[in-house]
Amino acid sequence: MYFHRKSLSCLLALAASLHLSTDSQHHHGKALAFSVGSVPQSAASNNQLPSIRTKFTNRHRQSNQPPFLFLSQESSSRLFVDANSASEAIESSLDDSLLEEITEGEGDSLHLSGDVNVDVDGVNSNSDKGDANLDDAIVDDEPLVLCDVPPASHSIQVTNDGPAGSPVTTLTVHLGMPGHPEPLIFQTGKIGRQAAGAVTLTRGDTILYTTASRDKDPKETIDFLPLSVEHQERFSSAGMTSGSYNRRDGRPAEHEVLTCRLIDRPLRPLIADGWRHETQLLSWVLSYDGERSCDPLAITASSAALWISDVPLLKPVAAAMVGYIDGQFVLNPTNRQMEKSKLNLTVAGTKDAVLMIEGAADFLPEEIMIEAVSFGHEAIKTICVALEEFGAAVGKEKNYSTLIKPIEGLQEEVNEALSEKVESLWSTEGGKKEDLSANMSVLSKEAWSMFEEKYPEQKNEVMKCYKNLLSRKLYEKAKKEGIRCDGRRLDEIRNIDIEASILPKVHGSALFTRGETQAIATATLGDSGMKQKIDRLDGMEKKRFYLQYSFPPSCVGETGRVGAPGRREIGHGNLAERALAAIIPSESEFPYSIRVESLITESNGSSSMASVCGGCLALMDAGVPVKSPVAGIAMGMLLDDTHSVSDEDAVIVSDILGTEDGLGTMDFKVAGDKTGITTFQLDIKCEGLTIETMSRALQQAKEGRIHILDKMNFALETYREELPQTVPRIRKFNIPADSIGKVIGPGGKQIRAIIEDFGLINMDVEEDGEIQISSLQSDKLEKAEQFVMDLIKVGGGRGEKGGKGPKAVYAGPEPVEGTVYKGKITGIHQFGVFVEILPGAEDGSTPGLEGLCHVSELHTERIRNCEGFMNSLGITEMEVRYTGKNAKGQLQLSRKSVLEEKKNGGRKNDDGIPVQKMSAEEVDVIAQAIEGIKDL
């Protein structure tokens, strides 16, 4: 509902009228959601609508009745009314003269005179209209309600509305899963017709464009698949512009790199063996509705483009995201639903088997994980069947003519010549990586020397057959004897050594060694200024906890490039970060920002899981009150036929070596505590993994994880009770939101002076008036807090070094309401922009006149990220209209009003003044209406 020219009394009248005209039992336990136009947004910037729960008479405060009104300063400025006690409480709190005429509308809406519409939570929730309204009115404790959807189906339509009347083919897929009403719409023939395959994929208002291209001629000298993947989330897709210097989307951000890896991993194993054409997959997010993640769409769209091209993809691949909310699985949950989910799972596969899983969980048991994968795979089957028909309708003939085919009889020749030597190689138990690598290198050279004369131009084919022999003999030894190439049993973990507190000046540190894999992990604690800031389509993300992983070439005894992290390092670091994120205490419990670094110093299998173990120990060493220690383990799988789907003969091995990773068919990383899983990642090289095999792997991984946790517990039983002396102390306190300007000062001068004078490390001021300060000296924090509290009472000044007396005030002419001023930008915050509209004295004796342009008044469109938006404009001055003062005498400015007037050619409304949804008097009415109300 939208209040355009209403006061708070009208809102209260609405609540009373609702009770008087409807059955109160019908609404028992429901919530009424009010979306209140621009009123609370402008008022919120002046702290006129603090978050409060209230009853409006002392009698009702004493009656133990539940409160019926909740005013919330949300980003969407919503007001929630509890109808449980909307009867006597409302009637006795309001004067009859305030009641408005109300009439009952259709469905779950009630309409009030004065352009007001109310959505009633829970009424007629199965209707399409009700679901749309309820999605915008989710309350934290609201149970999950999934809308009905059409049954699973697909259809193909061909039209001639492409360029020059060319045919356009559209595939529409209904997934048939509750809560996912939007179909997936694949289209080809209109855009990107010169690529080998080009597809647009639409879901709701989100649109992705993906192309598959390949070189004309193969690269015959290489022995691998030359596939590259790029994915870009264009800022323009969300109505934004890059904040870079040239305003252009640049190098991929970390989350885009992670999406590239998600696309690559399930598709690479299914491209026909022997394909040597340079192949490139490009993916762009062209339009983003802000509702759901685009990652599963990027995987599916890339598969579709590859499937209709002539690149020999063996089967179509699809992906789905799965959430777990209130004990129920949700397909492709919305971003808001995902905030309440205990699971964030991305599954990719064919209609026959799973190829990849990736995600994080909140200590969920293995049984739930298996059910979640099965649930997501059902949607994947639906999409893959539809894509098969799509490919049959528009797909190009697959190019198998240039595949490097195996030489007939070569594999048998290699087997006969080298079988005994390979068996002897694998029988050397307990050897070090260095010794095994040396022996494998000698045998590799001997293998080529045996066949060089007969096959001088086919070295790659010979060595491929030799690798197949190594893999098969490795499998046979494990299957028949239950012993691996290093002499361990299938489920045996390598020797573990742990040292904590190895670095004296670091907040927390640990050295974790498992066999020949070793990591030095460190934990650093800081204040809110240490948060990692990431520009995303959903706005600026501030990560309080993050992990950074480094894999220098020296850890494997090599030389190479050292610098910015590569894609592999980004992926491994993100995996370890997700594992540890679940154990980090909330910011209210532990106000520090936390950075973990993992430096890999030795590597022979699963350095990312070593980072999980070492990172957990470093956090505990730093005194972080982790919820539960976690450990990680990497599982492998050996198959007789590496190109088939896993079966009951698959051999699962725990804590894999680098050799087993290279010659095996699976790398399944799992992390968690003794009760449940916090993160997981599956990569395979065969055509798929059955649910049964995955279940075996998860159970074996749990046993290994518990073994590692016992070793960690022996080294460091719990987190340190006291923080190290090198950790800065943090203090939080609150000031009225209308005093923020005094603390920050013009251009940030005052806040910088406070930091300097009191020797603070940082000082952070939030929009709601919460202030966080940090220092190595606790007494400095107390003095700084006292100074700030004195400052907001008496005005500006300096700290203990200052003594300059009262702060100078503006002494120039008063601004004229409705006038447009071109002012200097003096401060940019998430809640708005401070602008100096009138200059101060030339000699600097008095400051200029500043006002706040709230984020809601910056543009005609909604702005998700105020700081990013202003950075993208790259301006130091801007035109704003002075719209008056609020009840506390603060200047209110509007850039949106100026833009709207320019858009209308300088015309104003019928009253001769710029369009304004609410007058200053009405803002004052609201301020007075809630004056003196206390939080319950």
Angle at the Cα of 485 from the Cα atoms of 481 and 487, rounded to 5 degrees: 70
Closest CA to 439 of 494, 485, 479: 485
Look up tokens 């939101």; give the residue.
737
Q: Where are the beta strands (DSSP E) in 152-205?
A: 153-159, 168-174, 184-188, 197-203
170: CB partners within 8 A, 6+ apart: 156, 157, 158, 159, 185, 186, 187
What pLDDT is attached to residue 793?
81
Calculate the alpha carbon distances from 760 to 91, 733, 734, 798, 802 in Å.
53, 15, 17, 14, 16
Burial (CB count within 10 angstroms: exposed 0-12, middle 13-18, buried 19+), residue 455: middle
Look up tokens 């129920």; give the residue.
328
Query: What's phi and psi for 237, nearest 5 deg?
Result: -65, -20
Q: What is the mean pLDDT of each run of 10 residues along the chain (936 residues)?
A: 34 38 35 34 34 29 34 32 35 34 31 32 32 35 79 95 94 90 94 96 96 94 93 88 65 91 95 95 94 94 97 96 94 92 96 92 94 95 97 95 90 93 82 83 92 90 92 92 91 96 95 96 92 82 93 93 91 96 94 96 93 97 96 92 73 92 91 95 85 91 96 94 90 89 86 91 89 90 91 62 58 90 89 89 80 90 84 89 85 92 67 46 50 36
Cα–Cα dist 229/221, whole Å? 22
Query: What's phi and psi for 223, nearest 5 deg?
Result: -120, 30
Closest CA to 187 of 174, 166, 176, 172: 172
Burial (CB count within 10 angstroms: exposed 0-12, middle 13-18, buried 19+), residue 894: buried
Q: Where are the beta strands (DSSP E) in 350-423?
A: 354-364
Structure tokens at 167: 């045919």
Amino acid at residue number 43: A
Q: Residue 247 in contact with residue 191, Cβ under 8 Å?
A: no
Cα–Cα dist 661/637, whole Å? 9
What pLDDT is attached to residue 863?
85
Cα–Cα dist 651/490, whole Å? 8
Q: Residue 750 in contact with residue 796, Cβ under 8 Å?
A: yes
Cα–Cα dist 156/173, whole Å? 9
Q: From the DSSP assignment, how many helices (H) and strands (E) are in the chain?
A: 22, 37
Relative to beta strand 328-331, strand 318-325 is: antiparallel
Please list the helix, strand and coil fractions of the chain in percent, rounded to the nearest 5, in that order.
35, 25, 40
Cα–Cα dist 611/622, whole Å? 16
